[in-house]
Structure 1
Amino acid sequence: MDPLSDDRDRQRPRLSAGSATGLLASARPRGVLAVFVGALPALTFPAPSLWWFAYVALVPWILLARSADTGRRAALDGWLGGLGFMVAAHHWLLPSLHVFTLVIAALLGLLWAPWGWLVRRLLGGVASPGRTAAALVVLPSAWLMVELVRSWEGLGGPWGLLGSSQWQVGPALRLASVGGVWLVSALIVTLNTGIAALAVAHAARPPGTSRTAAARTIPATAGLVAVAAVTTSAWAWAPRPEPAGRMRVAVVQPGVIDGVGSADKRLAREEALTRDLAGRDLDLVVWGESSVGHDLAQRPDVARRIAALSREVGADILVNVDARRSDKPGIFKSSVLVGPQGPTGDRYDKMRLVPFGEYVPARDLLGWATSVGKAAGEDRMRGERPVVMDVGNGLRVGPLVCFESAFPDMSRHLTREGAQLLLAQSSTSTFQSSWAPEQHASLAAVRAAETGRPMVHATLTGVSAVYGPDGERVGAPLGTSASATATYDIPLAEGVTPYVRLGDWPVHAALGVLAVLCAAEAARSLRGSAKGRLRQPAPEPHEPHARTAHGSRAHPGH
């Protein structure tokens, strides 16, 4: 049997009217249910951080889509589930973007429509070993395509990738070092698919287990066993970071400072906190995003004050300037290294900007978003290239700014360029009481595990945290209520993880799987057309005899 062939309605098991799934007969309750089950995976991310729930969170969504009467209905289930997921994962944007959050979620939710259609195609109707085996490969691949497309900066970036929910799970972080967050996402979807397929196979068993019914569970069981084997193998085989000394870094978190003159008040608070770090034998001090509101070239007095702090604490200070430049038009967000003699010349301008937060895509068309929310009134300017900076004691650091810590390729590139420590300067003060600060900080753990390099996540208002080369937390984080400093002895590492060496190979493999799927579908369609032509009845031979008005044949010559 073709694993991708459609099932006839007569093949689909009938549900009793009194069953719980009778609700699905009504389109409106089903749509609400689709939004609800699609939102469930959001509970796996901080702040709820129910990481274990990720391994079953997709099962209700899968079971709903497979029960659809038509492929179009399954695609709608996929779309509405995607809408629910995007709203739940980004609900903290509502106070800033208002109704525009729902518009964006609805557009991005469309990416899951093909995934919902594939769920029904592969798992709908009567289960078969061939289609179940195909589902275990195709559905994770299709999910990765959704994550890849929505990871584009203009669509909001890779926030809420399913694999990121496992930021505190050791085996999952080991998998990230092999295939990045993509591999973790793929294995989570595979587990959910296998569990859903087992549930379907068991539900379809007639009384008295038969060999045929038992055989239907074999592919799903084999898939679950394979995931367990891959995880165990990665744990045993993947090279662990080799120790390469330590680095002593301090994070300065001034806390929430609002009102008139907040930029100058924040700078004064950062100076006071930094002075308290004197005598701690530091290698580097890190301030958060937008920690300095003046261009240092235009305000040499501010540059001199920070340089004096560097001399006092005996370490370079990495600040973040959010200001209009004197040498270039526009406003930049820049990581600037300041040493005892002033700015060292090392400067990184933020390259990937937050849609609507730091620029409005297609402002001529979507500029109205500024009138209904807190979208950027003026677009920030983009940097041109990543930068690896040399700090004291010959150590090299790779800075990122806020949103950029969500992009696996950026930290991977900095590692390949020789960064020994990754730094993310961030500010989520707009979303201080939401899930956003903890979600953002957790991304640093995944980036550290992927690259085998420790990462510092330094913010203005929390959560500030540090993670070692294996993704495990170093020291205690600074929460959203803290206005303080924290000093961390950070273990450094050397060597190259498989992910840094091979890149996004799980995504490439997923593209290959979907290409094979499309080729198989095209070949099946061509075969079906050819068989249809062969089965057409032959045309009747030409009848040389004419009929009379009474229906009798008139033979020639009569």
Structure 2
Amino acid sequence: MSKHLDSVYLSSRLTLAVASGLLSFFAYPKPGLWPLIFVSVAGLLISVRGATVARAALVGFAGGFAFYASQCWWLSQYLGPLPLVALSCIQALWVGLGLALYALARRHTKTIFGSSILFASLWMAREWASTHIPYGGYPWSRLAMSQSESPLSGWVYFGGFSLLGLVVALLSALVVEWLPNFWAKRSEGLTSRRSFAAPILVLLLAVLVPSLPPIANAKAQLDVAAIQGNANAGLFANTRRGEILENHLDATYELLRNEPSRKLDLIVWPENASDLSPIVDLQARQWISDLVNVDAKAPLAFGTITSNGSDLFNSSFLWEPGVGITDQYDKKRPVPFAEYVPDREFWNQLAPDLIGLIYRDYAFGERDAIYEVNGQKLGVLICFEVAIDEIFYELSDQGATAILSQTNNADFGRTDQAWQQLAIAKLRSIETGLALVNASTVGPSAIYDRGGQMLDKSGAFERDYLVAKIGLTDTKTPAMIFGRYLDYVNLAMLGLAFAWMLWRSILERRRPRA
């Protein structure tokens, strides 16, 4: 049979791909069974090994849809299944394209490692495309995000989420490529102890390297509190006016009553913590002023909605004792089809009822993302921005010594979304080498010291406060210096590899036949 034909039933390939995609659900939080991501990725690879390009695309699409839909089912919590189906289809197209390219190029690889690195490189390129295209992409469900509790998590220190994803995909592919070769040799009596040398060396390297990252010395400390008001601050919440603000005030005063002698350097409230903007609401201004100036005597970072002319922003303020509002950050990457609708007129024709639910569009912020507290630069981000690589490169370039991640998870109810986001926050702390304060409206919230060490954590859907002393450092990790170039190097190398394959194919066709 020709090597361009497929002897495996299409139904078998589709079944394996879908099962492997669904299995990935258990690898990500809240189940958090991280070793299963290797089984999931290996299954997706096996489902297209030896397939024709067309079949690989179809099988990849089916597996990709199951991969994303199983992990991100929380998207359907309030808006119904349509957004989940639409998003999963878009992401599945990228998975199908990546696996089709793998099926096309694998014919030109001659070694186990060559085939494995091809698969891992294509997966890495596929993740870059998924997280950037279209409309800024969807930065969730990357392989790295399953590894926050894994011994491999330290790879993000060296090259960010992309490098860790590459390692996961490479290890999965090496197992898939090595095992058939091993069993074939074993059946012929050709195996020996040396047959295990290379796999064991690769495994040791994969586990030992991420244990090497040092934790930078702290040049200063900050005593921080994160407040979780347990407020129903969702897009469609029917709360009493001022209720969300009152929830966070109550939780903050509970902290002050329980720890009266503690001299805090900063209090962090979540995204949308004040449903009344103190810019326009006198009562909110008075409440916050009393808290900051009289009772806490500490700066407060909190989220609210602001406007500038016709532009609406998802914002964060820094309010300092005796001064008032001294800084403001406006979310730079509002979420498409949640906080704004790109090409609204076009999409409104396709799904007017759904698009009509998103009745206001937030503008893209342009302010810098640095707050200065006690002479130290603190980087600020809002909600889904924690999953966007470029946000962290910018914070690092601006000299951030710690990160404040303010988020509102109320829209996703008691799903896994907030737990997945918390895992991302921990990985970002390891990646940047910086302490990170993740304050959520409904939880879970957490405070991580440099290198992802957890200092305090809350549960979900409970009023709570977290306090800890975090270390501040301006030492940059390899991921912040070099990691930003890794995806582009990978894309360039893939481009060169496919150009070389195309050139070889052209030469072979022109070669006269004997």
* Shift >6 Å, 4+ stretches: none
Structure-1 separation of matches of 2:309 and 2:200:
56
Residue 441 of structure 1: CA displacement? 1.3
Structure-1 separation of matches of 2:254 and 2:387:
32
Q: Which residue, out of 224, 232, 242, partners 2:208?
A: 232
Residue 123 of structure 1: CA displacement? 5.9
Amino acid at match of 1:229: L
Q: Is the 8 A contact 2:223 2:263 kept in 1?
A: yes
Residue 433 of structure 1: CA displacement? 1.2
Correspondence for 2:128: 148
Residue 429 (structure 1) aligned with residue 423 (structure 2): no
Correspondence for 1:8: 2
Structure 2 counterparts to residues 29-428 of structure 1, below 5 A: 30-68=13-51, 70-95=52-77, 96-121=79-104, 130-152=110-132, 154=135, 156-169=137-150, 171-205=151-185, 207-210=187-190, 222=198, 225-226=201-202, 228-229=204-205, 231-236=207-212, 238-257=213-232, 260-278=238-256, 279=260, 280-311=262-293, 312-323=295-306, 325=307, 327-367=308-348, 368-369=350-351, 371-372=353-354, 375-391=357-373, 393-428=374-409
- Report the 3-state secondary structure (helix = DSSP H, G, I; strand = E; otherwise coil) of the residue aligned with 2:425: helix
- Would the alpha carbon gap of residues 91 and 261 (structure 1) be closer, same or farther in structure 2, given more than 3 Å must change? closer
- Report the 3-state secondary structure (helix = DSSP H, G, I; strand = E; otherwise coil) of the residue aligned with 2:334: coil
Structure-2 separation of matches of 1:56 and 1:261:
44
Tell me whether 451-460 or 265-274 shows the greater mean CA deviation.
265-274
Structure-2 separation of matches of 1:64 and 1:302:
58
Q: Is the 8 A contact 2:157 2:433 kept in 1?
A: yes
- Would the alpha carbon gap of residues 412 and 530 (structure 1) be closer, same or farther in structure 2, given more than 3 Å must change? same
Residue 500 (structure 1) aligned with residue 475 (structure 2): no
Structure-2 separation of matches of 1:424 and 1:233:
28
Residue 200 of structure 1: CA displacement? 2.5
Larger Rg: 1
Cα deviations across residues 499-521 of structure 1 (Å, max 9, x unaligned)?
11223233133213302311221
Residue 28 of structure 1: CA displacement? 4.5
Residue 405 of structure 1: CA displacement? 0.7
Structure-2 separation of matches of 1:221 and 1:516:
32
Aligned residue pair count:
503
Q: Is the 8 A contact 2:13 2:48 kept in 1?
A: no
Cα deviations across residues 375-404 of structure 1 (Å, max 9, x unaligned)?
52211111014321112x323211101010
Residue 57 of structure 1: CA displacement? 2.5
Structure-1 separation of matches of 2:197 and 2:499:
27
- Report the 3-state secondary structure (helix = DSSP H, G, I; strand = E; otherwise coil) of the residue aligned with 1:197: helix
Structure-2 separation of matches of 1:142 and 1:419:
33
Residue 297 of structure 1: CA displacement? 2.3
Residue 294 of structure 1: CA displacement? 2.9
Residue 90 of structure 1: CA displacement? 1.0
Residue 73 of structure 1: CA displacement? 0.8
Structure 2 counterparts to residues 470-485 of structure 1, below 5 A: 470-475=451-456, 477-485=457-465
- Would the alpha carbon gap of residues 163 and 204 (structure 1) be closer, same or farther in structure 2, given more than 3 Å must change? same
Residue 110 of structure 1: CA displacement? 1.1
- Report the 3-state secondary structure (helix = DSSP H, G, I; strand = E; otherwise coil) of the residue aligned with 2:318: strand
Tell me whether 402-411 or 261-270 shows the greater mean CA deviation.
261-270
Residue 374 of structure 1: CA displacement? 8.3
Residue 224 of structure 1: CA displacement? 6.5
Cα deviations across residues 153-203 of structure 1 (Å, max 9, x unaligned)?
72543111101211123x433211110011100000000000101233245
Q: Is the 8 A contact 1:123 1:131 kept in 2?
A: no
Cα deviations across residues 450-504 of structure 1 (Å, max 9, x unaligned)?
11111111011111111121112122x2121211222122233341111112232
Unaligned runs of 5+ in 1: 1-6, 15-23, 537-558
Q: Is the 8 A contact 1:75 1:117 kept in 2?
A: yes
Q: Is the 8 A contact 1:173 1:471 kept in 2?
A: no
- Would the alpha carbon gap of residues 467 and 72 (structure 1) be closer, same or farther in structure 2, given more than 3 Å must change? same
- Would the alpha carbon gap of residues 291 and 305 (structure 1) be closer, same or farther in structure 2, given more than 3 Å must change? same
- Report the 3-state secondary structure (helix = DSSP H, G, I; strand = E; otherwise coil) of the residue aligned with 1:51: coil
- Would the alpha carbon gap of residues 155 and 44 (structure 1) be closer, same or farther in structure 2, given more than 3 Å must change? farther
Amino acid at match of 1:249: V
Correspondence for 1:449: 430
Amino acid at match of 1:58: V
Residue 301 of structure 1: CA displacement? 3.5
- Report the 3-state secondary structure (helix = DSSP H, G, I; strand = E; otherwise coil) of the residue aligned with 2:364: coil
Unaligned runs of 5+ in 2: none
- Would the alpha carbon gap of residues 376 and 473 (structure 1) be closer, same or farther in structure 2, given more than 3 Å must change? same
Q: Is the 8 A contact 1:408 1:447 kept in 2?
A: no
- Report the 3-state secondary structure (helix = DSSP H, G, I; strand = E; otherwise coil) of the residue aligned with 1:485: strand
Structure-2 separation of matches of 1:178 and 1:425:
26
Structure 2 counterparts to residues 17-32 of structure 1, below 5 A: 25=9, 27-28=10-11, 30-32=13-15
Residue 298 of structure 1: CA displacement? 1.6
Amino acid at match of 1:277: L
Structure-1 separation of matches of 2:250 and 2:291:
9
Q: Is the 8 A contact 2:226 2:466 kept in 1?
A: yes
Q: TM-score, normalised by structure 2?
A: 0.90
- Would the alpha carbon gap of residues 342 and 35 (structure 1) be closer, same or farther in structure 2, given more than 3 Å must change? farther
Structure-2 separation of matches of 1:261 and 1:101:
26
Correspondence for 1:554: none
- Would the alpha carbon gap of residues 207 and 492 (structure 1) be closer, same or farther in structure 2, given more than 3 Å must change? same
- Report the 3-state secondary structure (helix = DSSP H, G, I; strand = E; otherwise coil) of the residue aligned with 1:184: helix
- Report the 3-state secondary structure (helix = DSSP H, G, I; strand = E; otherwise coil) of the residue aligned with 1:86: helix
Q: TM-score, normalised by structure 1?
A: 0.83
Residue 527 (structure 1) aligned with residue 495 (structure 2): no
Residue 122 of structure 1: CA displacement? 6.0
- Would the alpha carbon gap of residues 67 and 306 (structure 1) be closer, same or farther in structure 2, given more than 3 Å must change? same
Amino acid at match of 2:366: E
Q: Is the 8 A contact 2:105 2:498 kept in 1?
A: no
Residue 247 of structure 1: CA displacement? 1.5
Q: Is the 8 A contact 1:123 1:132 kept in 2?
A: no
Amino acid at match of 1:41: S
Question: Could you tell me the percent identity over the aligned residues?
Answer: 24
Structure-1 separation of matches of 2:201 and 2:495:
26
Cα deviations across residues 208-236 of structure 1 (Å, max 9, x unaligned)?
2348xx99x97x97477346325524533
Amino acid at match of 1:232: L
Q: Is the 8 A contact 1:40 1:58 kept in 2?
A: no
Structure-1 separation of matches of 2:354 and 2:197:
50
